[in-house]
Amino acid sequence: MQVKPIEWRDTMIRVLDQTRLPSEVIFLDVADYVEMAAAIREMRIRGAPAIGVAAAYGLALGAQAIEARTKEEFLVKLGTVSRELASTRPTAVNLFWALERMNRAAGEGTAISEIKAALVEEAKRIERENEEADRQIGRLGAELIEYGFTILTHCNAGALATAGYGTALGVIKAAHEQGKQVRVIACETRPLLQGARLTAWELIEEQIPLTLITDSMAGHFMSRGKIDCVIVGADRIARNGDVVNKIGTYSVAVLARENSVPFYVAAPTSTIDLSVKSGAEIPIEERSPEEVTWIRGTRIAPEGVKVANPAFDVTPHRYISAIITEKGVVREPYGEGLKGLF
């Protein structure tokens, strides 16, 4: 199976609607950048690297529709498109990274038609590089996986999240392809159940043995010696190695250290934000209370209950055994190691 969460089709972008998985495999035909912004905001496409690709294609699509007489006028209008896409989600840095790259590419062209074509090419290049980075992360990460390992993962950092091969799941897939007989324990990942819905779906498609658990069970299985290592993705990595990732990641990291289980983060270098000193500086998206009080159309809590719903948390670098990037595996001291990648 080649899961394709996003596909450029010249006049539109085909997006696999991840909010409908696993019960329905439905594709959306995204016709303009406003629809793409909505698809990102509503998490029809999600995962830090994938929303980078989605934003790049969204900008390319938006660019095609711009009518302008001068390059300056074109760039002003492109700025509006870019700001709309940038406003969708605050935490994953790949979104801003991809838009910045696209805007730089736009600045380099001269004729408007040339810039429009260059933007499509740049978006395709981002997607391709993303896929190549995933493969390399898989190769490097698989070296950390021993034969017969049981690997715990949280959320979904698979092909669905990267528009490529996957980061955390890329490592697992690479180890699996090498015949290492790995098994996966997937946390369901409330509130939006990316583990139960997306990781389970991807691993069943890949025929990698999987056991689904609730998030509250991760510690129990670690304490019983059932987990050999943890691998997760990342939404943004600070200069000091602090990792912002899906809510619940911090808990898993603390439990891993308490039980002497290695805790790995797999992410492309586009996820690293050297401009932020530590995780404390990274904005944490607060999402709608209904994501907690409703599950797939069913209300589970009393009317009027107050809810908190931070979508991410910060895992301080001291809990992280290694960060696996396409340019190498970095360990403490992260400050030096991460800077050395660039």
Contact residues toward its own copies (CB under 8 A) are 22-23, 185, 187-191, 193, 196-197, 200-201, 204, 209-221, 223, 247-248, 250-251, 254-255, 258, 292-293, 295-302, 304-310, 313-314
**CB closer to its own copies, 186 vs 237:** 186
Residue 134 contacts residue 321 (beta carbons within 8 Å): no
Name 129's Cβ contacts closer than 8 Å, sequence gap at least 6.
none
Cα separation of 57 and 123, whole Å?
Answer: 6
Q: Torsion angle of alpha carbons 161, 166, 171, 172, nearest 10°?
A: 70
**CB closer to its own copies, 188 vs 235:** 188
Task: State in angstroms the smallest separation of the CB of 155 from its own copies.
Answer: 9
Segment (H or E) for 194:
helix 194-194
Count Cα neighbours of 182 within 13 Å in the Cβ-side half-sphere: 32
Active-site entry in 10, 134, 235, 313:
235
**CB closer to its own copies, 36 vs 159:** 159
Name 274's Cβ contacts closer than 8 Å, sequence gap at least 6.
239, 338, 339, 342
Task: State in angstroms the smallest separation of the CB of 136 from its own copies.
Answer: 29
* Tokens linked to 71: 């390059």
* Tokens linked to 246: 């899906």
- Catalytic, 235? Answer yes
Task: State in angstroms the smallest separation of the CB of 220 from its own copies.
Answer: 4
**CB closer to its own copies, 212 vs 274:** 212
Task: State in angstroms the smallest separation of the CB of 248 from its own copies.
Answer: 3
Catalytic residue annotation: 235
